[in-house]
Structure 1
Amino acid sequence: MWTTLISVADLVRHQQDRNQVILDCRHDLGNPQAGREAYAQGHLPGALFVHLDEQLSACSRDHDGIFRGRHPLPDQQTFIQTLRSLGISDDTQVIAYDAHGGMFAARLWWMLRWVGHEAVAVLDGGITAWTAAGLPLSTDLSIPSAGTISQHPPLTVQVSIGDVLENLSSAAMTLVDARAADRYRGENETIDPVGGHIPGALNRFFKDNLQPDGTFKSPLQLSQEWSQLVADPARAIMQCGSGVTACHNLLALEVAGLCGAALYPGSWSEWCADPARPVAR
């Protein structure tokens, strides 16, 4: 069972395993159809496509009209139904990949753990590592049989905006922002019209978890780097722009053996929606 990362070599050796589902998570925040188009042009053999906006997120506003961020989590039972439609059962090994260093695949990794499914891993290096190894892509479309996955106690921790507000005064938790430095500083108005970060948040760009070839750094190196930011992962909160790339930092912490950090799903997009909330730059 793979629970964090799986290498291309290991996936090739287990490509024909029956209880396995491979999910293509490619996406482009600026072009929401880019992932689906890339999947149609070529994907890992047998892979199914999942869309960040349509299957891994809910509507930005809840039934009361309250804005919950750009990519709020869906209802858990809705997500369970999505997983069943993808052929996932309780004994399924799920492999997620993208073309972006794992930034979108890590969101699916976290969400499966959120509903208590441990056997989920991100393909280290994604589709880039797959093609670099000379392995073929496919344009065939797979039709999965219905899965029977059930909801189990979560293997994750999450916090609400109220918890983050309370932390402004208590400073009990270390808050880490996964956005690029210019967005953290409030210098990229194209992506973040309201620039800056939550007061007290540290910055660790998710790409800092990766080697130049797009694969994750070693557990030892990640542990050394993260330990300089987070003294106790059980007292840390990961956030980003909308709760997506923060999951990459959570995956890196798990790879490093530093488990127990929480996700703030609403992240910056929820936080800055109310001008009464303080902003640091």
Structure 2
Amino acid sequence: MSAVPRHVSVDWLHEHLADPTLRVLDGTVHLTFDEDGAHIESGRATYEHEHVPGAAFVDQVTALSDPDGEAPFAAVDSARFGAVVGELGVGDDHRVVVYDSVNGIWATRLWWQFGLEGSDRVSVLDGGLDAWRAAGFETTTGTETYPPTTFTARRRPERIRSTADVESAVDDPDVLLVNALAREDFERGRIPGSVNVPFPELVGPDGRMRPIEELRDLFGSVGALDPGRRPVTYCGGGIAATAAALALMELGRDDVAVYDGSMNAWTADPGRPLER
């Protein structure tokens, strides 16, 4: 069986949309900020208003985030993940394409959770719903579902890091912490020793991932391609970090892990150091 690419184009999806072994998932979440802090809203209403034909909706906020985790958006355990995606109609032999209708990082978050639970049969739709519309392909409204099935989750612990892991990694010369937040956020405060590859710079003006050579320059310039150091990506809440992890895997770094709690968890204890 040929390897499943981590990205597919809208043309590819349009051509394969009728494939009965394909599952398309809309993972849209709306995250906004104001003087009162961060606000999260499910993307279900956006999905019902407009989505790729045949796509089902997965509510990552309520269904795939652990309310008892060390920070908001913490990944659920394997049993919960398997139950949720199985109910959505994703089985062990299905090919999956994930997308969102905002900035792409919620699609990469969903891709990462599938990978965390052992599935490499998942691709991100390059450019998301915006690219689909820009290509002139039709969208639809309402709610669509697939028949429930069974998904076997097999956790890959090497792909996720806890706060305790990162505390140990701060002084570990074999680990490189890669902050995926915007440059101004990185300057305001980061985990000591971190380097910065902002997630907005991973994509072009059209929302599609930049060419591999441009990504190689971005990550190579901060030492993230050094084979002697294991990259651990993080951000504010473990979402944008998954876009950086995907880009690093596209560059051949199969050893990349995500700090799931990210800055939300790190700053929960004011005694933990910050570098500015």
Q: If the length of structure 2 is used for normalisation, what is the TM-score? A: 0.91
Q: Quote the offset at 1:256 in angstroms.
A: 2.3
1:104 alignment partner in structure 2: 106
2:11 alignment partner in structure 1: 9
2:134 alignment partner in structure 1: 132
1:218 alignment partner in structure 2: 211
1:36 alignment partner in structure 2: 44
Q: Which moved more, 1:139-148 or 1:12-21?
A: 139-148
Distance change >3 Å, CA 98–CA 156, structure 1 → 2:
farther
Q: Distance in 1 between matches of 2:106 and 2:228?
A: 22
Q: Distance in 2 between matches of 1:51 and 1:234?
A: 35
1:274 partnered with 2:273: no
Distance change >3 Å, CA 156–CA 99, structure 1 → 2:
farther
Counterpart amino acid of residue 232 in structure 1? P
Counterpart amino acid of residue 173 in structure 2? A
Q: Quote the offset at 1:252 in angstroms.
A: 0.8
1:228 partnered with 2:221: yes
Distance change >3 Å, CA 234–CA 98, structure 1 → 2:
farther
Q: Distance in 2 between matches of 1:20 and 1:234?
A: 37
**Partner of 1:28: helix, strand, or coil?**
strand
Q: Distance in 2 between matches of 1:250 and 1:34?
A: 24
CA contact (8 A) 1:90 1:150 kept: yes
1:198 partnered with 2:191: yes
Q: Which moved more, 1:18-27 or 1:252-261?
A: 252-261
Number of paired residues? 266
**Partner of 2:124: helix, strand, or coil?**
strand
1:54 partnered with 2:47: no
Q: Quote the offset at 1:259 in angstroms.
A: 2.4
Counterpart amino acid of residue 271 in structure 1? W
Counterpart amino acid of residue 280 in structure 1? E
1:241 partnered with 2:249: no
CA contact (8 A) 1:110 1:156 kept: no
Distance change >3 Å, CA 233–CA 10, structure 1 → 2:
farther
Q: Distance in 1 between matches of 2:186 and 2:228?
A: 21
**Partner of 1:182: helix, strand, or coil?**
helix
Counterpart amino acid of residue 200 in structure 2? K
| Cα distance per residue 1:62-85 (max 9 Å; x no partner) | 5xxxxx112111111101100101
CA contact (8 A) 2:78 2:154 kept: no
Q: Which has the higher strand share?
A: 2
**Partner of 2:48: helix, strand, or coil?**
helix
Extract unaligned runs of 5+ from structure 2.
Answer: 33-38
**Partner of 1:250: helix, strand, or coil?**
helix
Q: If the length of structure 1 is used for normalisation, what is the TM-score? A: 0.89
- Structure 1 runs of 4+ aligned residues shifted over 4 Å read none
1:121 alignment partner in structure 2: 123
1:254 alignment partner in structure 2: 249
